[in-house]
Amino acid sequence: MFDDAAMLTKASTMSTFDPDLDTPRARHRPRNAFGDKVAEYHRLVANPLPAILGLVAAWAVLHYSLRTRNLPVFVVALVLIALCPLLIQYHCLDCGLTDFAIRSRGHACQETQRRWRLGEASARTPPRLRTQIKAWIWSLFTALLVYAILVGIHL
């Protein structure tokens, strides 16, 4: 009776993966050596200026495509607008590094590592990078909305 229960338990915990027949599974690779938790110890400031300049350029291309009724240029303008968030940068207050925000999770300078090891959060830490980017996007959206209401958009 105990043998049946033990066999049933063993069978339910066995993996269906066969190394001889199945293809190897992709191994989980951490984003940085310190895990995702290191982001809580970053002191990063978002810099949206390159993305805003890209948006202005993409807006000019979009405006031109609508004036000339050129579909390929219109599609290019939409692609440019979609790529603009990739131009958002961050600046590390500890080491002075400036890089693209999509690579911020991999950043772990010595001061960030030290805070991570000691588990101490800095007293004057700026908001997380994601929060700053959301605040910038909402500010930009609000500014554009106010501009559109006050002046009107004439394409």
| Residue 103 is a binding residue for Zn ion (CB under 5 A) | no
| Residue 106 is a binding residue for Zn ion (CB under 5 A) | no
Q: How far is the CB of 93 from Zn ion (least distance, A)?
A: 8
Q: Which is nearer to Zn ion, 43 or 58 (CB)?
A: 43
The binding track of 46-85 with respect to Zn ion, each residue x by CB under 5 A or -, is ----------------------------------------
Q: Which is nearer to Zn ion, 52 or 109 (CB)?
A: 109
Figure out which of the listed residues 57, 78, 109, 137 binds Zn ion, where binding follows CB under 5 A: 109
| Residue 8 is a binding residue for Zn ion (CB under 5 A) | no
Q: Which is nearer to Zn ion, 111 or 136 (CB)?
A: 111
Number of residues in contact with Zn ion under rule CB under 5 A: 4
CA distance 135 to 126: 13
In angstroms, the Cα distances linking 65 to 51, 59, 113, 155 are 21, 10, 49, 10
41 contacts 112 by C-beta, under 8 angstroms:
yes
List, as one string, the DSSP characters of 106-137. G---HHHHHHHHHTPPPTTPPPPHHHHHHHHH
122 contacts 115 by C-beta, under 8 angstroms:
yes
| Residue 104 is a binding residue for Zn ion (CB under 5 A) | no
Q: Which is nearer to Zn ion, 67 or 114 (CB)?
A: 114
Q: Which is nearer to Zn ion, 80 or 109 (CB)?
A: 109
Q: List residues near Zn ion by CB under 5 A.
A: 92, 94-95, 109
